[in-house]
């Protein structure tokens, strides 16, 4: 198919829920992508925090190929080898003792909403069902996770929303405390909000939430769909806060580019889910689980968490230099390789010009530029990105 046909057919046959950039990617390797015309791009979006180990890692593609020759799918009514291996490894490297597998972040959060309600009702009474979430959060697009997402712009047109959610202010422990009542079942938070603008939860806030949950018999839920799997310079972002959640959700990077969602929790909570409580046809798919096992091996063996931490600090310092140089940059923040630059006006043109120069970056809302490079990124690649930002910034960031 020619490029113009792809644009034409996409417009004709695919529902227009995405505002796409006019580029057609055909190949990826490590931190780079190539478009249909052979142009190379440095990818600092990583499929929105999915390609943490870079594009098309040979160990992952081999794991996918090998598993796909053996067994592609059986129902969850039967046992398979990769799902058990993956669950065992996830429990070994985290606080968790049990996993539930599904296909996406929203689906993992849906499972969590159900488990939280069932646990609270079973242990503490039928009235317990409310979950507190936070301003600028993002938890997914299904009706449940959309309601959990405390941003009105995502709700519009879809009312009535699911009952049983209350919204507190992010990084404001008092506002969460004030919302707790006899119906509250849990508190759900992203330790670093991704879609909300790379907002980092403070130590006091997270530790305060843990205390509130312990005191009031509530489940503390960490949505680590975006922050998990090394992204923030720790395997899971909860490690930065010296506490453990009761439930954690993962998706995005865990499948190495294939769709996988996971809900992780402790035995005492998982036990309220019995036969028939929840299910997913494709959850724990053997091919996807084989890919995820390879991803976790690579992250650990190739010390990518250390690299994410070091390269994140290096990138942040370079971006701070840009802030000192350009008036238009009002804030630079991030943890590991989850980084944002906030501007005082629209960043649309900057993202567009960077793309022309071969650097892929992402705009959240209007004014926040988000950087999510693969965790394998090198100083040389960061310097390349900074050079492009400087080149584009000379005219667009100086005003």
Q: Judged by CB, which is closer to ligand PLP: 57, or 112?
A: 112
Would you give the distance in Å from CA 194 to the centre of its chain? Answer: 7
Considering the rule CB under 6 A, would residue 129 count as an interface residue with ligand PLP? no
Shortest distance in whole angstroms from residue 306 CB to ligand PLP: 24
Which residue's CB comes closest to ligand PLP?
A: 105
DSSP letter at 246?
S
Among 53, 120, 206, 225, contact with ligand PLP (rule: CB under 6 A): 225
As to burial, measured by CB atoms within 10 angstroms (0-12 exposed, 13-18 middle, 19+ buried), residue 130 is: buried
What number of helices (H) and strands (E) belong to the chain?
Answer: 14, 17
Considering the rule CB under 6 A, would residue 110 count as an interface residue with ligand PLP? no
How many chain residues touch ligand PLP (CB under 6 A)? 14
3-class DSSP state of 27: strand
Among 190, 246, 342, 381, contact with ligand PLP (rule: CB under 6 A): 190
Considering the rule CB under 6 A, would residue 106 count as an interface residue with ligand PLP? yes
DSSP letter at 240?
G
Q: Judged by CB, which is closer to ligand PLP: 106, or 304?
A: 106
Among 82, 166, 171, 223, contact with ligand PLP (rule: CB under 6 A): 223
3-class DSSP state of 205: helix
Q: Under rule CB under 6 A, which residues in 133-172 are in contact with ligand PLP?
A: 138-140
Q: Judged by CB, which is closer to ligand PLP: 106, or 361?
A: 106
3-class DSSP state of 303: coil
What CA–CA distance (Å, rounded) separates 311 from 373?
A: 10
Shortest distance in whole angstroms from residue 188 CB to ligand PLP: 10
* DSSP output for 74-113: --TTS--HHHHHHHHHHHHHSS-SEEEEESSHHHHHHHHH
Question: Which range touches ligand PLP (CB under 6 A), out of 100-108, 115-123, 334-342, 369-377?
Answer: 100-108
Which residue's entry shows tokens 């943490």? 52
Considering the rule CB under 6 A, would residue 104 count as an interface residue with ligand PLP? yes
């Amino acid at each position: 198919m020619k490029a113009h046909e792809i644009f034409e057919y996409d417009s004709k046959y695919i529902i227009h829920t995405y505002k796409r950039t006019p580029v057609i990617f055909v190949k990826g390797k490590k931190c780079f992508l190539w478009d249909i015309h052979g142009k190379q791009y440095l990818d600092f979006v990583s499929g929105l925090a999915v390609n943490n180990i870079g594009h098309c890692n040979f160990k992952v593609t081999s794991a996918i190929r090998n598993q796909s020759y053996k067994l592609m799918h059986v129902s969850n009514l039967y046992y398979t080898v990769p799902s058990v291996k993956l669950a065992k490894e996830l429990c070994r490297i985290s606080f968790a003792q049990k996993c539930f597998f599904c296909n996406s972040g929203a689906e993992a959060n849906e499972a969590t909403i159900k488990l939280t309600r069932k646990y609270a009702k079973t242990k503490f009474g039928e009235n317990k069902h409310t979950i507190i979430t936070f301003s600028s959060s993002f938890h997914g697009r299904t009706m449940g996770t959309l309601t959990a997402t405390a941003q009105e712009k995502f709700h519009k047109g879809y009312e009535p929303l699911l009952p049983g959610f209350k919204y507190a202010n992010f990084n404001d422990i008092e506002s969460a405390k004030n919302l707790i009542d006899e119906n509250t079942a849990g508190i759900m938070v992203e330790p670093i909000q991704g879609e909300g603008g790379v907002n980092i939860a403070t130590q006091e806030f997270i530790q305060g939430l843990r205390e509130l949950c312990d005191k009031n018999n509530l489940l503390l839920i960490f949505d680590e769909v975006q922050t998990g799997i090394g992204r923030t310079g720790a395997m899971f972002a909860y490690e930065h806060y010296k506490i453990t959640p009761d439930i954690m959700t993962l998706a995005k990077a865990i499948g190495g580019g294939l769709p996988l969602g996971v809900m992780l929790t402790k035995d005492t909570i998982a036990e309220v889910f019995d036969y028939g409580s929840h299910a997913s046809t494709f959850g724990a798919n053997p091919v996807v689980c084989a890919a995820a096992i390879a991803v976790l091996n690579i992250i650990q063996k190739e010390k990518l968490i250390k690299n994410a931490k070091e390269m994140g600090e290096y990138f942040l310092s370079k971006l701070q230099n840009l802030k000192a140089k350009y008036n238009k940059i009002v804030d630079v923040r991030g943890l590991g390789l989850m980084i944002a630059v906030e501007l005082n006006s629209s960043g649309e043109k900057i993202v567009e010009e960077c793309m022309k120069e071969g650097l892929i970056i992402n705009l959240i809302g209007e004014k926040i530029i988000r950087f999510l490079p693969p965790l394998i990124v090198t100083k040389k690649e960061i310097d390349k990105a900074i050079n492009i930002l400087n080149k584009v910034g000379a005219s667009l960031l100086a005003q």
